[in-house]
Amino acid sequence: MLFAVSFASVFSDLMDGFGYTLIIFFVTLALSVPLGLLIMFGAVSKFKPLKWLTKTFVWIIRGTPLMLQVIVVFYVPGLVFNAPFKSRLAAVLIAFVINYACYFSEIYRGGLESIPQGQYEAGYVLGMKKRQVFFHIVLMQIVKRILPPMGNEVTTLVKDTSLARVIMIVELIQAAQFQTARHGIIWPLFFTGVFYLIFIGGLTLLFGYLEKKLDYYKI
């Protein structure tokens, strides 16, 4: 009975932590996907200052650890501008959204630049306008090409949510660590693997389904 009560209590706390994991994951994904598109447009812009500013920013974000970025976003406003974050979760979300938007922008850019120029020229020869060429000829080829790397980044995001614990967000891993320290048991840490495996397994099936749906579109 003691084990059952203990398990129920621990499982409840792990579910609370998993709730924060889900919040970080879905908010980051919802905001970083469109933001990455905007960053990509800046990176391929013909306006040189904007292009190099965007590329420099992406280089800095991709070249520094996400954990460091979370720490900077949370602590720097208070230390430098005397305006500390009141919400740790908001700081985490800002850092995650910026980080993943930069990674997604590079995936978008790679997909866009992988399309041969002949694809555009063929559409123009047929009398199609630039927008028609993009949406009817180019877009689905880009989507097909970026889907696998996007899937890899999304599954990485699931695991990266554990970095939120660096500023004491009690996500899944942090919740398990608290239980381990409180009760002197280690199985909650291993049990977190079940949550991640189920979550990532579902995402793997989803992206596999999407890739099969695009199999008809040969490139």
pLDDT of the chain along its 219 residues, tens only?
445 447 888 889 999 999 999 999 999 999 999 999 999 999 999 999 999 999 999 999 999 999 999 999 999 999 998 888 889 999 999 999 999 999 999 999 999 988 888 888 888 888 888 888 888 888 888 888 999 999 999 999 999 999 999 999 999 999 999 988 888 888 889 999 999 999 999 999 999 999 888 876 554
CA quadruple 32, 36, 38, 39: dihedral, nearest 10: 130
* 8 within some domain: yes
pLDDT confidence of residue 45:
92
pLDDT confidence of residue 124:
84
* 66 within some domain: yes
CB 210 within 8 A of CB 148: no
Compute the distance between CA of residue 176 and CA of residue 183 in angstroms, rounded to an integer. 11
* 219 within some domain: no
Host domain of residue 24: 2-213
Compute the distance between CA of residue 110 and CA of residue 51 in angstroms, rounded to an integer. 15
* 67 within some domain: yes
Q: Apex CA 168: angle with CA 101 and CA 7, to 5°? A: 110
Compute the distance between CA of residue 27 and CA of residue 21 in angstroms, rounded to an integer. 10
pLDDT confidence of residue 5:
44
How many Cα atoms occupy the beta-carbon half-sphere of 76 within 13 Å? 8
pTM above 0.85, yes or no: yes
* 118 within some domain: yes
Tokens representing residue 46 in the block? 């013909």
* 188 within some domain: yes
Sorted by sequence, the CB contacts under 8 Å of residue 162 that are 6+ apart come out as 21, 171, 172, 173, 174
* 84 within some domain: yes
What CATH number does residue 95 fall under?
1.10.3720.10
The domain tally of the chain equals 1
CB 146 within 8 A of CB 108: yes
Looking at 114-186, list the stretches that DSSP marks H as alpha helix, in order from N- to C-terminal side. Answer: 117-125, 130-133, 139-160, 172-183
Sorted by sequence, the CB contacts under 8 Å of residue 63 that are 6+ apart come out as none
Q: Apex CA 39: angle with CA 38 and CA 44, to 5°? A: 100
